Structure 1
Amino acid sequence: MYKPTLDYAQQLDKEDNLAHLRAQFHIPKDAKGNDWLYFTGNSLGLQPKQTQQYIQQELDDWAKYGVEGHFEARNPWMPYHEFLTNSMAKIVGAKPLEVVVMNTLTTNLHLLMVSFYQPTKTKYKIVIESDAFPSDRYAVQSQLKFHGFDTEEGLIEWKPREGEELLRIEDLEKIVDEQGDEIALLLIGGVNYYTGQYLDIKRIAEIGHAKNCIVGIDLAHGAGNISPELHDSGVDFAAWCTYKYLNSGPGSLAGLFVHEKHARNKELPRFAGWWNHNKETRFNMRQPFDVMPGAEGWQLSNPPILSMAAIRASLDMFEEVGMEALRAKSEKLTGYFEYLINQIDTDRIKIITPSNPKERGCQLSIQVKNADKSLHKKLTENNIITDWREPDVIRCAPVPMYNSFEDVYRMVEILKTLL
């Protein structure tokens, strides 16, 4: 049973086998040199201290070798994206063949929909969550419009029930059961950005496939946070960014998953470029396009090495620790955070994220009654970095890599005084 005391929080930190990881990150500080209480790893993860070293290595090799760095660098640039594949595959529960790091999230979703959204006159609709992240909504609306369909008629929203904030899987099942003959694609956020709800990805795949629908997952708030087990889930494709829980830096490259069952289907429509052509004949410039198998077959251009170096710095930490240990700490850390918030004697706030640890990642979404942004601003003035989302939610994500039990204790103590 948890206890609402500083001594207890500090004791949990002493018992934490991952507590040493915090010292491997740059923690932002206030003007007096005190650490911020940073709870926005769900928007931008903190910088690992070794990131600078990893990027500097590539800068040094660029200076030393010029173009020959593609082959002569300590980490040759030609195959550099392959250095990330195994670690990233473990994080999302995929086979190496199924994963590649490339482009950015929404770009990847569009490239995947080129292949997997193949509407007909009667089967063309797309299902998303009603409160999907805006870029997903814009992406699917533009796909509908591009294919000549009405964006209102072609978009189906999976909504919470009246008076509820969370989605029910049986409501999605009903939608697909009733309208599946008209639905071409389900594109669902694996972890909802607003509520923090972790959806049953495998069940979603089963529901969609039962009606011959393609199923894609946006894991922007899932990769490095939960263990989605993408291969076993059976989803057709997925994409995610790396700058949140994967700590790769602002605007860094994204990840892409294509299930093994599609790996060698050269007939799938796709956009083509130099980097998804057979690497064995890539430099024989006059060969007809020969698409590579697996997720690499969705690449277009040679990758930006400096961004990949930052991703590699973080992935090497994940490789050392493992998702199982991170998830175990995450459940305990967020559980303690939830306990402390529930101890606050007020009816002004409530947590809308599921209480079941298996149905959430590390984020808790705190709904504030009769809210404006003033409470969030007061938290910021107290060096507590959270994330405000309209109309009335403060999102807080204690990240197991660098947040401590004392962090969440101190945050809640300040929140109590502000309330």
Structure 2
Amino acid sequence: MNFENSLSFAKTQDDADQLHQFRSQFLFPNHNGKDFIYLCGNSLGLQPKVASEVLKRQLDNWANYAVEGWFDGNEPWMFYHKELKKLMAPIVGASPAEVCPMNTLTVNLHLLMVSFYQPKGKRFKIIMEGGAFPSDQYAIESQVRFHGFDPKEAIIEVFPREGKEVLRTEDIVAQIKENADQIALVMFGGINYYTGQWYDMETITKAGHEIGAIVGWDLAHAAGNVPVKLHDWEVDFACWCSYKYQNSGPGGISGIFVHEKHFNNTSLNRFAGWWGYQESKRFKMEKGFVPEAGADGWQISCTQVMPMALFHASLQIFEQAGFIEPLRKKSITLTQYLEFIVNEVNKDLGFEQFKIITPKNPDDRGAQLSIIAERNGKQIFDGLMANHVLGDWREPDVIRLSAVPLYNSYEDVYLAGQVLLKVSRDILISR
């Protein structure tokens, strides 16, 4: 597509966009009577307008049924998570039996590592990307310490080459092969939070399995953003938050994936709880944990009804939109337009003030662009905020902007570019 840096072009694209209608189903932040241009769905998705209605329905169930709400009403809480499983599965390329909504992301990462990080002999190491989100780093460090290892010895981090911002797949695979007899677990983030790089999950998973390792993924920035095929790629396990691209609200419920090939593996450790016990016999209150079939067997506590209701509200919109494929098609073009607009700002300024460190190839990125300002980055970010453009800042020097296909428009992108140019001129000229 030949892009144009004009409002008329942006509006024409929005008029032709079959997903543009979904924008009206979300609430945009407003200050002093003016809506923000919201480009921060990579951090927290917007609230679906239907969320309050869906949540009220469960509050009414609580009011009308009290404890009997677990079994009575149109949506008994005992089985509520099953409604979400049907809608979660297409988003991550899984069967409903392989996914389950539960807990929060890092809690689930720990629970899954209890099962899938089983160091034995000299095969005790975990390989991960350097510069992973801190929560992943802390979880993995604490897991290896729990098993009695020194993180400096047990964790292999793969960093970009000197002078580069992103990793090469061949370098990741080479490190896996180089440490083939020592790696117990390959554990990467699907999309790196800082650079926005989408790793070649299929290739990395295959490389891990070829050396006999377990492969897991943190899909915090990937689930609901890019098409993943967890079942077909034979990923062993994965987990993700739902409050970014899946709009479940701050601290929203997490999701897990466990490949069906592990369902009957009785050698797996797990931290068990009542809600993971075999459903048909759960209320017999018997000793001796017998897990429910599938991913549900990793549950510990009972259904978190209110957070699930908020997630349910967003998942129904995904279903209306056709799940990931239509969204991905728009996301590729919308992100390319954002890239074009940032480069147009550089042209107008007369130099490369803004360097995009996210890979240019759409196959290597999702909706997020990570941008480093040559000068006054934090000041410019604050200027965007003051002018109703909301992205986010990540230390030490990155502005992250994410045009989410469910609710962002080409006009959003164009207008954000106009603000970026104005703010940059005002700040750089005033120096």
TM-score tier, shorter chain, comes to over 0.9
Measure the CA separation in 2 of the matches of 1:204 and 1:96.
Answer: 24
For residue 163 of structure 1, what is the aligned residue in structure 2? 163
Identity %: 51
For residue 60 of structure 2, what is the aligned residue in structure 1? 60
Measure the CA separation in 2 of the matches of 1:161 and 1:233.
Answer: 27
Q: Is the 8 A contact 2:5 2:341 kept in 1?
A: yes
Q: Is the 8 A contact 1:371 1:392 kept in 2?
A: no
Q: Which runs of 5+ in 2 are unaligned?
A: 425-431
RMSD: 1.0
Please report the TM-score for the alignment, with normalisation by the length of structure 1: 0.98
Deviations 1:338-376 (A, max 9, x none): 111112223221111111111111101111124441111
Worse overlay, 235-244 or 338-347? 338-347
For residue 405 of structure 1, what is the aligned residue in structure 2? 410
Deviations 1:42-77 (A, max 9, x none): 111000000000000011111111111111122110
Letter of the structure 1 residue corresponding to residue 402 of structure 2: A
Please report the TM-score for the alignment, with normalisation by the length of structure 2: 0.95
Worse overlay, 69-78 or 133-142? 69-78
Distance 1:367 1:149, change over 3 A: same
Q: Is the 8 A contact 1:9 1:409 kept in 2?
A: yes
1:35 deviates by 1.3
After superposition, residues 7-406 of structure 1 pair within 5 angstroms as 7-31=8-32, 33-322=33-322, 323-344=324-345, 345=347, 346-406=351-411
For residue 429 of structure 2, what is the aligned residue in structure 1? none
Letter of the structure 2 residue corresponding to residue 240 of structure 1: W
Measure the CA separation in 1 of the matches of 2:418 and 2:170.
Answer: 39
Measure the CA separation in 2 of the matches of 1:306 and 1:191.
Answer: 28
After TM superposition, the runs of 4+ consecutive aligned structure 1 residues lying more than 6 A away are: none
1:28 deviates by 1.0
Worse overlay, 404-413 or 370-379? 370-379
Letter of the structure 1 residue corresponding to residue 366 of structure 2: G
Measure the CA separation in 1 of the matches of 2:183 and 2:364.
Answer: 26
Q: Is the 8 A contact 1:371 1:391 kept in 2?
A: no
SS at match of 2:396: coil
Q: Is the 8 A contact 2:198 2:363 kept in 1?
A: yes
1:388 deviates by 0.6
Letter of the structure 2 residue corresponding to residue 14 of structure 1: D
Worse overlay, 308-317 or 354-363? 354-363
Letter of the structure 2 residue corresponding to residue 179 of structure 1: N
Q: Is the 8 A contact 2:65 2:72 kept in 1?
A: yes
Q: Which runs of 5+ in 1 are unaligned?
A: none
Q: Is the 8 A contact 1:281 1:287 kept in 2?
A: no
1:36 deviates by 0.3
Measure the CA separation in 2 of the matches of 1:25 and 1:173.
Answer: 41
Tell me the matched-pair count.
Answer: 418
Deviations 1:225-246 (A, max 9, x none): 0011111111110000000000
